[in-house]
Amino acid sequence: MIPFNIPPFVGKELDYMKQAVEAKKICGDGSFTKKCHDLLEKQTGCGKVLLTTSCSHALEMASLLTNIQPGDEVIMPSYTFVSTANAFVLRGAVVVFVDIRPDTMNIDENLIEAAITPKTKAIVPVHYAGVGCEMDKIMEIAKKYNLLVVEDAAQGVMAYYKGRALGTIGDVGCYSFHETKNYSMGEGGAVLVNNAEMYERSEIIREKGTNRSRFLRGQIDKYTWVEVGSSYLPSDMNAAYLYAQLEMASEINENRLASWKKYYDGFAPLEAEGLAERPFIPDECSHNAHMFYLKVRNIEQRSELISYLKDKGISAVFHYVPLHSAEAGLKFGRFHGEDKYTTKESERLLRLPMYYGLTDKDIDYVIENIKGFFGK
Ligand SMILES: *Cc1c(COP(=O)(O)O)cnc(C)c1O
């Protein structure tokens, strides 16, 4: 059986967790959390990275940091995970969905401007599969209309747009370290604060609305409740687990990229014959092999392929029922413009097994069987 995902594990995780336990400092912001912050700040060039309990929570922090108020509108793609929308809906925002580009499955930057109204407060690009959105254009629109930009870079750790780390281009970026992502701590994430004016508030929001971080640095002699916040900081045991993987980030990334390339080359004949499409990576993007997918003819063919592969012991999956057609999406959002690609392309997309340590033998087996399905 070839599973769809195996959570990354590099070997040092348990040793580091043991160290965290022995240091008798297992709550948040212990030494491993600080090590992760330093490493991520160095790797991304972001001035302030803070670990969170999930990317969902990093997004919630972002919606607090951007001061989203009831009735504000937030523009995002409909082809995304529910957390992208929930974070803003929790603050009373209306979500305005726009269509995606069929090539990258990212928000179509050319459709954003028409969706802007006087109530629009923020744009939330989602870097699908670790492939960057067209950020130059998005930042230009944000500047023109005085909007904030929150990057959902849950899938974008170690990926770049024009040499800039995903998550560091907008005002706030959000990473996920869930077990299905490239680097994991079980459940976890990080918020990347790019706007220096938000540094202090980000610490306050993450520490239950208190100025405890300043207190811990000795800048004040007692800490108090200063604004609305929550508990968004993870246990240092989880940070220890993550740190082992972040230390090996390049190795994990290269391993995934090699698997991705093997799939990509292996499926070239199918694409040449018009039987399936491979992912597209724009020149300005360097991705992280978060995902390898194929697009087949339609939803019926995809269902057939999934069960065909299941019989061969291969787990292939799809995801994201477009949010605008979901029960909550109908209630909390609206789709601006025509759904030309969101539904159609999402129904054709099939994700193949992809994880750190996936063997060449297994990749060959997957390619062979998919070719077999198409009679090749
Ligand atoms: C995984 C994911 C999230 C949520 O991440 P969690 O860490 O599980 O909260 C949000 N957005 C996108 C695009 C994701 O892929």
Mean pLDDT of 2-31: 96
Residues 238 and 264 reside in one and the same domain:
no
Residue 25 has pLDDT above 90, yes or no: no
Residues 202 and 77 reside in one and the same domain:
yes
Residues 188 and 306 reside in one and the same domain:
no
Q: Compute the distance between CA of residue 244 and CA of residue 36 in angstroms, rounded to an integer.
A: 9
Residues 187 and 208 reside in one and the same domain:
yes
Amino acid occupying residue 198? M
Domain boundary among 203, 219, 247: 247
Residues 241 and 253 reside in one and the same domain:
no
Dihedral (CA of 263, 268, 270, 276) sign: positive
Domain boundary among 230, 247, 264: 247
In-domain check, residue 179: yes
Q: How many CB atoms lie within 10 A of CB 307?
A: 11
In-domain check, residue 4: no
Residue linked to tokens 């560091």: 168
Residue identifier of the C-alpha nearest atom 14 of ligand 1: 154
Residue identifier of the C-alpha nearest atom 5 of ligand 1: 55
Residues 27 and 94 reside in one and the same domain:
yes
Q: pLDDT tens, 48-58? A: 999 999 999 99
Q: What's the confidence (pLDDT) of residue 215?
A: 92
Domain boundary among 189, 221, 247: 247
In-domain check, residue 7: no
Q: How confident is the model at residue 371 (pLDDT cuts 50, 70, 90)?
A: very high
Residues 217 and 349 reside in one and the same domain:
no
Residue-averaged pLDDT of the chain: 97
Residue identifier of the C-alpha nearest atom 8 of ligand 1: 178
Give the C-alpha distances (Å, rounded to integers) separating 142 from 94, 127, 136, 149: 18, 17, 10, 7
Check if the beta carbon of residue 115 is closer than 8 Å to that of residue 137. Answer: no
Residues 72 and 89 reside in one and the same domain:
yes
Q: What's the confidence (pLDDT) of residue 148?
A: 98
In-domain check, residue 2: no
Residues 169 and 314 reside in one and the same domain:
no
Number of domains in the chain: 2
Residue 310 sits in a domain of what CATH number? 3.90.1150.10
- Residue from 155, 183, 191 whose mutation best tests the ligand 1 pocket (most atoms within 8 A of CB): 155
Q: What's the confidence (pLDDT) of residue 303?
A: 98
Could you write out the DSSP letters of every residue in 132-146? ---HHHHHHHHHHHT
Q: pLDDT tens, 103-124? A: 999 999 999 999 999 999 999 9
In-domain check, residue 272: yes
pTM (two decimals): 0.98
Residues 292 and 343 reside in one and the same domain:
yes
Residues 164 and 294 reside in one and the same domain:
no
Q: pLDDT tens, 165-198? A: 999 999 999 999 999 999 999 999 999 999 999 9
Cβ-proximal residues to 206 (8 Å cutoff; 6+ apart), any chain: 50, 52, 61, 191, 229, 230, 231, 232, 233
In-domain check, residue 101: yes
In-domain check, residue 3: no
Residue 80 sits in a domain of what CATH number? 3.40.640.10
Residues 273 and 197 reside in one and the same domain:
no
In-domain check, residue 5: no
State the distance from the centre of ligand 1 to the C-alpha of 291, rounded, in angstroms. 14
User: What is the longest distance spanned by two Cα atoms in the chain?
Assistant: 73
Nearest atom, ligand 1, residue 58 CA: 9
Residue identifier of the C-alpha nearest atom 6 of ligand 1: 55
> Which amino acids bring their CB within 6 angstroms of ligand 1?
54-56, 80-81, 83-84, 126, 152, 154-155, 176, 178, 189
**Helix, strand or coil for residue 336?**
coil
State the distance from the centre of ligand 1 to the C-alpha of 87, rounded, in angstroms. 11
Give the C-alpha distances (Å, rounded to integers) separating 79 from 61, 128, 131: 22, 9, 14
Q: How confident is the model at residue 127 (pLDDT cuts 50, 70, 90)?
A: very high
State the alpha helices, DSSP H only, in the chain. 13-22, 31-44, 55-65, 82-89, 135-145, 199-206, 212-216, 236-247, 249-266, 268-272, 299-311, 327-332, 342-348, 360-373
**Helix, strand or coil for residue 86?**
helix
Q: pLDDT tens, 287-300? A: 999 999 999 999 99
Q: pLDDT tens, 298-350? A: 999 999 999 999 999 999 999 889 999 999 999 999 999 999 999 999 999 99
**Percent of residues, the chain, with pLDDT higher than 70:** 100
Check if the beta carbon of residue 115 is closer than 8 Å to that of residue 74. Answer: no
Residue 246 has pLDDT above 90, yes or no: yes
- Residue from 51, 55, 318 whose mutation best tests the ligand 1 pocket (most atoms within 8 A of CB): 55
| Domain enclosing residue 20, as ranges | 13-247
